[in-house]
Structure 1
């Protein structure tokens, strides 16, 4: 998986810091007193996700973009995510949300075409057929000197704000369910494998995760046990490293805030 938004310095590193209607695929923010619904992915009869959802690719690389389309499946509109030697994320920015210990992220996804050559343990295999990620505004002061300076340089040339901590839930090809590991290119991205292999291909799988607990397990040692503001949620896929082709679907994405 690549980090969100725009790249970091050398071409490979840039890629991995680029992580940087449909009533079923939207984010719901349940506030302590009232509920606030963010914009749905579909407005009217559009076959594309609606703003503020936006596609973020890899600038100045000439790479194809992962496609995000709204299609009917099993009697309801869902998000189709298809990557043919491509990379992109579908991003929903958030207003620096403070999340409590009970905050959860829930969604369902389905993988129809995996990436047999993907291997998240190696740079040459760093592709994911479907991912859901949460981006956190970890203070730069919590990073080591080298990573801190690299991120400062990247932010200076980026049109988008580059997060210092990105937690990605992934459907991997080989790693066992429950595996946790850093991105092969940058420790600013951590993976948590929720599905693995092909046993559940073409089946909807539901997940609900405690964002606070998962963040602390992945990054807590860097943030003194404090969860920083949540900056964005994204859905994505990439197949450009292994020159592969993948097809997945996602729906019912809900963020439920807790004090």
Structure 2
């Protein structure tokens, strides 16, 4: 029987951080997320789309009164990819799942940024925009959080009536932040960001390949609060926004490959770091 988990859209963390001073302005989305086995397709490929819309269970989510970011499956050469265009807009494409986090858990994809969001600054609220983000949501038990973080998260869950995920790790291709930088979201501690690529690629027409060991990245980003706890991965999301800067961004994503072997789950096994991106 499928279990339901809610997925809060990545940069909707803005209102989580602002909630002590304002009412919640976003609505989370319920998605069915059955547990999966290692030999199953965990994330539905964009290339399986029959038209321009991303195949289910991918779902668009946004905030009230925001111009929506456009997500469209298009043909690029011999394959179908996801075109993501932010134009003074906000939006996310979310795919629920549930897989264990352990040394075998990997995330792989290819991406390309054609247009960066001018004036974006990931270190400030006014500049919290980006042309390309791939986020992973984790279900960390709230007991591992500080009292202040538990209070804010409880308020978010109570206000929305949804089981808002307790952690989000976002991989970012940014124009100016140094490659390899790890940042805390300007709005909330519940989101950490890793800058995988910085600036224009050497070959602007080529996609860049990424393969990350999620456990290694998770420990670097959230190890201070998680300790030896290994929370399940409960969703992935493609995100792009340019609503704060009133800018424009354009990026492309290939199929997203998320893998995890249930039987290897262990908090005591070290895992190798994910390799850096490479142009194809």
Taking structure 2 as the reference length, the TM-score comes to: 0.80
Match of 1:3 among 5, 11, 18: 11
Match of 1:164 among 141, 166, 175: 166
3-state DSSP of counterpart to 1:45: coil
> Structure 1 residue 187: deviation in Å?
0.9
**Residue 144 of structure 2: aligned partner:** 142
Distance verdict in 2 for CA 1:163–1:180, change over 3 Å: same
CA distance in 2, matches of 1:16, 1:213: 31
2:70 corresponds to 1:39: no
**Residue 236 of structure 1: aligned partner:** 239
> Structure 1 residue 150: deviation in Å?
1.1
Deviation above 4 Å: which 4+ runs of structure 1? 10-20
Give unpaired runs (5+ residues) of structure 1.
Answer: 21-28
Deviates more, 1:62-71 or 1:219-228: 219-228
CA distance in 1, matches of 2:125, 2:13: 19
Q: Could you tell me whether the CA contact under 8 Å between 2:169 and 2:192 is conserved in 1?
A: yes
CA deviation map 1:168-225 (0-9, x unaligned):
0000111110000100111100000001112444431000000011001100110113
2:75 corresponds to 1:72: yes
2:193 corresponds to 1:191: yes
CA distance in 2, matches of 1:169, 1:12: 28
Q: Residues 56-67 of structure 1 correspond to what in structure 2 (within 5 A)?
A: 56-58=61-63, 60=64, 62-67=65-70
> Structure 1 residue 76: deviation in Å?
1.6
Distance verdict in 2 for CA 1:18–1:244, change over 3 Å: farther
Q: Could you tell me whether the CA contact under 8 Å between 2:129 and 2:244 is conserved in 1?
A: yes
Give unpaired runs (5+ residues) of structure 2.
Answer: 1-8, 31-35, 265-280
Q: Could you tell me whether the CA contact under 8 Å between 1:3 and 1:18 is conserved in 2?
A: no
Q: Could you tell me whether the CA contact under 8 Å between 1:47 and 1:70 is conserved in 2?
A: yes
**Residue 225 of structure 2: aligned partner:** 222
Q: Residues 95-134 of structure 1 correspond to what in structure 2 (within 5 A)?
A: 95=98, 97-134=99-136
> Structure 1 residue 75: deviation in Å?
2.5
**Residue 60 of structure 2: aligned partner:** 55
| CA RMSD across the alignment | 2.7
3-state DSSP of counterpart to 2:158: helix
CA deviation map 1:118-145 (0-9, x unaligned):
1111111111110111100111111111
Q: Could you tell me whether the CA contact under 8 Å between 1:87 and 1:238 is conserved in 2?
A: yes
Q: Could you tell me whether the CA contact under 8 Å between 2:72 and 2:84 is conserved in 1?
A: yes
> Structure 1 residue 229: deviation in Å?
1.0
Taking structure 1 as the reference length, the TM-score comes to: 0.86
